A and B are shown apart, each in its own frame.
Chain A
Amino acid sequence: MKDAFFALADRLCGEAASGETLLLGLAAERSDFVRFNHAKVRQAGSVTQRFLSVRLVRARRQAAATIALAGGEENLAQDLAAARAALAQVRAALADLPEDPWLLVAEHPESTAAERRGKLPQAEEVVREVVAAAQGRDFVGAYAAGTIHRGFANSLGQRNWHAVDSFNLDWSLYLRGGKAVKSGYAGFEWDAPTLAAKLEGAAAELALVALPSRAIAPGEYRAYLAPRALEELAALLCWGGFSARAHATRQSPLLRMAHGETLSTKITLVENTADGVGPRFQHDGFVKPPAVTLLAAGRLGDPLVSPRSAREYGLATNAANAGESPEALDMAPGALAPGEVVRALDTGLHIGNLWYLNYSDRPAGRITGMTRFATFWVERGRIVAPVDPMRFDDSIYRMLGANLLDLTRNRELLLDTGTYGERSTGTMRLPGALLGALRLTL
């Protein structure tokens, strides 16, 4: 894949005319996808896709096109012809365009290469192992695995490559009546005993979920958000919370922080590209710094600045993607020992997962969402009953501000299960969060 992309790039970049800069990007993957329901296979298949982006810059104007490549050496001539056609199309498009005052692409070549090879079994073997291990249980979920390739090349001579082998088995165990626990097994080297151990652990948790439910009235409760619950909160904040453009146009959910509002001093968030799984480069050709501190001890740090925003607002770019959203978000740990969580919670809600979060008042930083999967009522430091899904509606300044008591000392590395269009390479490394109060509304 790498050789084919760079061979195509060499040919095409050689056809850039004087005064033109050509930028090429590759987003490709070969993936196996298997859905499970009731410990059986619902859908099984494989996908091979290769998308090439062709972007041309000339006289302060730019246009871009994305095409699907057939791939393979035997199709190289066909792919080259398709790429040439796309180049001709964007070259023609430049004629209709005015100068772009916010155009900024990398002009100093910085080539990189990173490959992370894993140990992935044949997907059919995974199916056999999962079906066997899940026998007798109501197992539902999905397996996604294979190699992800990302590449960049430009006519200035820059070449970047990123490839990773990974798998992500995201699953739940259900009881009658819709009660369930959520788990997952993701990484780079598949190990069947690890899956079996995770299934046993979830089954043990399911025994707690099987207890009679406790009805909770709307109101305020102490709450512990496990890392996967905090992941939902952090993911929503990634929607505009750290974007230079969203801050500049006053549409950030953290707008009030620009007016002096603060979060708890325990909250430090870093875009930790160095420890992420995704590529270090982006589609304008810029290479990302190892880390960008987004929130420092409860105060606004540096926003993510795309090259386009850098031009528009007179800022320095930190090689953010066009959406200016984090791709490898780290939250600093706290002091709470993992074994002390339930005791520290004392009486309140132990929330394993949140679901379907959205801003109920975006500029005020107010968020609503649901509890999901294993949520328990804890009394005097002991889990006593599961709690059916409840809606919360609360401000980020309360949840991660005045009401944040502590964060756990240990953090979980969570690989994004997202597969919209392509398998995500996003990650988060998060602790759990103990809150003095969380407002439930329905």
Chain B
Amino acid sequence: MPDRLTSTFAQLRSSAPFWSLRYVEETREHLAVRQDTAEPPHLAHDRGAMLTAVSEGGCGYCATSDLSRAGLQAALDRATGWAEATRGVSVHRFDPHAMPAPRGERSAVGETARSRSRAELYDVLAAECQHAKISDAIVERYAALDLWEVEQLYLTNTGGEVRQRFRYAVPHAHVAANRGTDTQTRSFADARQGGLERIARSGFIGSGARLADEALQLLAAPDCPTGTMDLLLMPDQMMLQIHESIGHPLELDRILGDERNYAGASFVTPGMFGTYRYGSTLLDVTYDPTLPAEVASFAFDDDGTPAEKVWLIRKGILERPLGGRLSQLRAGLPGAAAARASGWNRPPIDRMANLNVEPGASALAEMIGAVERGVLMRTNVSWSIDDSRDKFQFGCEWGELIENGRIAGVVKNPNYRGRSATFWRSLRMVGDASTFEVHGTLYCGKGEPNQGIHTGHASPACLFGGVAVFCGERG
């Protein structure tokens, strides 16, 4: 399809000085086993293109799944109409002559889905589901695998041509245990790029029995203590903490006000960059879409900006926001290759890709040993944060009490709350490379029209001091 599109694109015409085509083709397969019963497989093949036109001062788009020459020309005509209609009333005076014409290519990594039969994959899922059946208290067992491949093509009438391919294999599992009015859950997800090799490398094999055992431990565990204490966040909860209270506040379109009606604004203001103390001197945060291991890696963003690693926070000082090319122009600030769209039918907006906390120098045992009284938490289960991404409250599936430098047992329903503006300054210790893990989420929602997209977050374990910790029901 991309080769045919390239030749069709060359035949399109517009009165706008600049236009582009962004083609996205996705092939998906969802397999799951629940309660030892194979769920019916769901396959999907989606493809379409967004035509964007830029005139002197205006910009518009039109997305279509009609990829014939007539269909694409009609979409370009509509986009051109929008570009004309928005001249003089746009938030930015678009300059069609300054639009980039990128050229490049990216290949997918990993084993293809076709290297193992669907029956073999169902057997893998069935085994995890079956192995979670360790007690009558286990009330739900679920194991699933999402496989998808994406091919993208970006063309401009000024000679730009970018081809990118992506491959994903994401295993996930969920187990629930119940006794009376108490239900405890444990879950597993491995959101990274790659192929079927991810099943073995992710730790998915054996997760069914482990999750079930941990859910039963939680049922029997005492409540998480309530009070101000140390908090040791493991990497799979650091993922959420980074995402909500660093990633979203640093999105430049929020800072510019675009999201105020829906996803919200930010407590961060343009004047803070270069001077604001976001966290303690131990906090180093980078944005790196070039890392092949993470889920949101690419060579070019959806506006055609080449990917590169940039530092957002260095030794606790805020350096730059997460804004794509357009937001950078509007704000007069540096940014990153961060303009991303959830598919062919949604326009690019500022997004996180791989947003990571860099490893520090502390081993996990050292961090636990440094805690007089505190709680270790892993695996997010509840998340809520205000519209300026400041006041947050997060809950985890799993907690472990730490007393006098030792793990003192499992606790249930652990929650904590705080404010982004001060929380990161309480960062006491940062785990070394041995504690570093790569995670990601497939469901970051934002934008009008709404877009759900995947983001990657890698982090070591991190220790925070003086945090308000509480039990779900009683805190």
Contact = CB atoms under 8 A, between A and B. Distances in A.
Contact of B384 (A49, A312, A364, A369): A369
B135 to A, nearest CB: 14
Nearest to B46: A68
B98 interface: no
Given A72-B71, A356-B386, 14 more contacts: A33-B448, A37-B91, A37-B258, A42-B90, A45-B62, A63-B43, A124-B85, A127-B85, A170-B262, A255-B181, A358-B384, A364-B473, A389-B388, A420-B452
A170 B65 contact: no
B387 A72 contact: no
Given A33-B448, A48-B65, A70-B71, A64 B41 contact: yes
27 contacts: A33-B448, A42-B91, A47-B62, A47-B63, A48-B75, A64-B41, A64-B43, A69-B65, A96-B119, A97-B41, A171-B261, A178-B388, A255-B183, A259-B181, A355-B386, A360-B384, A360-B415, A360-B475, A361-B473, A364-B472, A364-B473, A366-B472, A368-B384, A370-B386, A370-B387, A391-B391, A420-B445
A178 B388 CA distance: 9
A103 B38 CA distance: 11
Interface in A112-158: 124, 127, 131, 140-142, 144
A144 B447 CA distance: 12
Interface stretch (B76-84, B198-206, B400-408): B76-84
Contacts of B65: 48-50, 68-71
Contacts of A419: 448-450
A265 interface: no
A393 B44 contact: no
A67 B44 contact: yes
A372 B415 CA distance: 22
B46 A67 contact: yes
Contact of B387 (A86, A249, A356, A357): A356
A101 B37 contact: yes
Contacts of A393: 393, 475
Contacts of B90: 40-42
Given A64-B41, A142-B262, A370 B382 contact: no
Interface string A366-405: 1011101000000000000000010101000000000000
Contact of B345 (A49, A144, A441): A49
Contacts of B78: 46
Contact of B45 (A50, A68, A98): A68
B13 interface: no
Nearest to A72: B66
Interface of A: 31, 33, 35, 37-38, 40-51, 55, 61-72, 74-75, 82, 86, 89-90, 93, 96-98, 100-103, 124, 127, 131, 140-142, 144, 170-172, 174, 178, 180, 182, 249-251, 255-256, 259, 312, 355-364, 366, 368-370, 372, 389, 391, 393, 418-421, 423, 441-442
A68 B47 contact: yes
B382 A66 contact: no
A391 B392 CA distance: 8
Contacts of B473: 361, 364, 366
A357 B383 CA distance: 8
Interface range on chain B (Cβ under 8 Å from partner): 35 or more
A359 B40 contact: no
B63 A48 contact: yes
A71 B66 contact: yes
Interface in B1-49: 35, 37-38, 40-48
B393 A442 contact: yes
A92 to B, nearest CB: 9
B413 interface: yes
A89 B43 contact: yes
B34 to A, nearest CB: 9
B261 A249 contact: no
A46 B82 contact: yes
Given A172-B260, A249-B176, A368-B382, A74 B38 contact: no
B247 to A, nearest CB: 15
A362 B60 CA distance: 43
Contacts of A356: 384-387
A284 B260 CA distance: 39
Nearest to B66: A70
Given A66-B46, A67-B44, A101-B37, A41 B89 contact: yes
Given A259-B181, A389-B387, A45 B261 contact: no
A42 B68 contact: no
Contacts of A127: 85-86, 89
Contact of B257 (A37, A43, A55, A66): A37
Given A96-B122, A418-B450, A47 B86 contact: no
Nearest to A31: B449
A51 B46 contact: yes
Contacts of B109: none
B235 interface: no
A70 B72 CA distance: 11
A298 B30 CA distance: 39
Contacts of A102: 37
B271 interface: no
A68 B345 CA distance: 11
B265 interface: yes
B328 interface: no
Contacts of A51: 46
A251 B345 contact: no
A68 B63 CA distance: 13
A252 B262 CA distance: 27
Contacts of A391: 384, 386, 391, 393, 417
Nearest to A172: B261
Centre residue among B42, B60, B66, B178 by max chain A CB count within 10 A: B66
A47 B387 CA distance: 28
Interface in B442-456: 445, 448-452
A71 B71 CA distance: 10
B249 interface: no
B40 A64 contact: yes
B64 interface: yes
B443 to A, nearest CB: 10
B256 interface: yes
Given A48-B63, A65-B42, A68-B47, A372 B183 contact: no
A301 to B, nearest CB: 20
A276 B201 CA distance: 47
B45 A65 contact: yes
A1 B81 CA distance: 24
Contact of A142 (B42, B85, B261, B452): B261
Nearest to B178: A250
Given A48-B64, A70-B66, A172-B260, A362 B183 contact: yes
A45 B82 contact: yes
B40 A66 contact: no
Given A100-B40, A360-B472, A355 B387 contact: yes
B79 A45 contact: yes
A124 B83 CA distance: 11
**Residue of A45, A97, A174 with most partner-chain B CB within 10 A:** A45
